[in-house]
Amino acid sequence: MNQEQLDKVTTGKGFIAALDQSGGSTPKALKLYGVEETAYQGDAEMFDQVHAMRSRIVASPAFNGQRVLGAILFEMTMDRQFEGRDAATYLWANKQVVPFLKVDKGLADEADGVQLMKAMPELDALLKRAVAKGIFGTKMRSVVNTANAKGIDAVVAQQFVVGKQILAAGLMPIIEPEVNIKATDKKEAEALLKAALLKALDALGADQKVMLKLSIPTVDGFYAELVAHPKVVRVVALSGGYSRDDSNAMLAKNPGVIASFSRALTEGLSAQQSDADFNAALDKAIESIYQASNT
């Protein structure tokens, strides 16, 4: 594991940009960016369009390691280039932004109020490829839809089993058990989740540490114990469908937690903007998220 990257992720000021929209969420992301479905045919053209969006973001002078600690990439993005350099290499060498990779293959059907990750039989091969590409860490998402203790325990158990597999490959896992912001018992679900996470963290080996990516909690500062836990490198927050303004306002009430926003980061960006307008809008977004992440 790259020590300089680890130090930056552990103690640096800033946030992590989530640029990992996958097949299911890509059409919506493109539509919000001003690219209608009529502008492309089939998955190949769709992914070309979203790569162009991501490339424009990371190449912008507003996007650099002074305010952006890391960026989470989709697998296809890892295999592509930004401005003629492999994506992960470009992020670190050109921007001083630590590269992460989304490794999950989507969500299983809901059971016990949660959605586990689908099986990942090719994970070891993907992790090996990620190491060779210069990736520092990974991200994998499960979803909690209701305060069901059995389901939440299953989500955390699966996340940590896979997390240990990722650690063994020499990468830093971001454990992401998202609590659905529309859950009617979100507060109760977060209490069960925190208890399960603390138990799993306490059981980690002496040399094992992870990152956590969580929904912004209902109770301000609720994840302070996780932020302070010796096995946690960093706690980052997803926007989960909240607007950028709302996400920033809520995040600022949770000291020690930094952003890892996707939709809230790209909100207001458009394919139709001039480069000057695009860069100005991105700069404003990055600055607002940076400030909320460093309260």
- Which of 8, 95, 139, 176 is catalytic? The answer is 176
Residue 176: active-site member: yes
Contact (Cβ atoms closer than 8 angstroms) between residue 252 and residue 280: no
Rounding to the nearest 10 degrees, give the CA dihedral for residues 2, 211, 9, 121. Answer: 40
| Type of residue at 280 | A
Label residue 221 left, alpha or beta by phi (over 0 means left) and psi (-120 to 50 means alpha). left
Residue 287: active-site member: no
Report d(CA 295, CA 290) in Å as an integer. Answer: 9
Report d(CA 248, CA 237) in Å as an integer. Answer: 10
SS3 240: coil
Q: How large is the C-alpha radius of gyration of the chain? A: 18
Tokens matching residue 205: 């080996």
Which residues, including other chains, have CB under 8 Å from residue 41's CB and lie 6 or more apart? none
DSSP3 helix / strand / coil % (the chain, rounded to 5): 45, 20, 35
- Which of 102, 209, 213, 231 is catalytic? The answer is 213
Contact (Cβ atoms closer than 8 angstroms) between residue 199 and residue 155: no
Q: How many CB atoms lie within 10 A of CB 50?
A: 24
- CA angle, 239 as apex, 236 and 244 as ends, to 5°? 120
Q: Helix crossing, 123-133 with 149-168: angle to 10°?
A: 50
Which residues are marked as active site? Answer: 176, 213
